[in-house]
Amino acid sequence: MTRRPPWLGSLPVAAPRRAAAAPVRLVNPTGLGLASERARANMVDSLRRIGVRDPQVLEAMVQVPRHLFVEPALASRAYEDVALPIGHGQTISKPSTVARMIEMVAAPLSPAARAGAQVLEIGTGCGYQAAVLARVFGQAVSVERLRGLHEQARGNLRALRLSNLRLVFGDGNLGVPQAAPFDAIVVAAAGDAIPDALLEQMKIGARLIAPIGTTRQALHLVERVDREQWQLTVLDAVRFVPLRSGTS
């Protein structure tokens, strides 16, 4: 266990503890009907085969129609295990990445505890991961720094009527202090270090997962042990868009 400053502010990018899993091609639902429960169920079966076990996470991914969050021209690829462009130089993460990150931050919480827990997402993007988070946690807050994507996510999410999801336009590096503290934080963009503001907005016992690095990136899992201590675990190599400051 290590104390915060200078701990994370100067954190080097460590070599991943284990190699990233080989890419897995999930079921392409062409011919099944993109909106069908069967198509999403087939995707979730593929996630289960590559090691995702959390029943709530898997059920959430059955319920959220990923094809509604991608461009119509790419809808036929919505249930493959690939990142897809969503405009503004950003991407929607692979289903396996979304599932693993949420599974890891939610792991310490029982289903009953999750119902009363609050999660923060940094990087709303098109809104897909936010929708999955809102079906796993009692309350979800998601921050996006690009106005165009923030509005795009609002449009994508409107039909799902997720009353427990709040979208915020702002600088994700600052978190959402007025809504803190959080039981879990998921960062969907890669910085050089985890911002101090996010560490301070974690509850005692909370988990945060974030990609760290520039040319080389790895997922970092942080657990807040007490008021002054955080514990770090370095996971797989990954590839995310950069975490930037400010709004645009």
What positions carry a catalytic annotation? 93
8 Å CB contact between 201 and 224: no
Burial of 227 (0-12, 13-18, 19+ CB in 10 A): exposed
Residue 102, φ and ψ in degrees, nearest 5: -70, -40
Q: Is 89 left (phi over 0), alpha (psi -120 to 50) or beta?
A: left
159/88 Cα distance (integer angstroms):
23
Cα atoms in the Cβ-side hemisphere of radius 13 Å centred on 195: 20
Helices (H) and strands (E) in the chain, counts: 7, 10
Cis peptide upstream of residue 111 (ω within 30 degrees of 0) = no
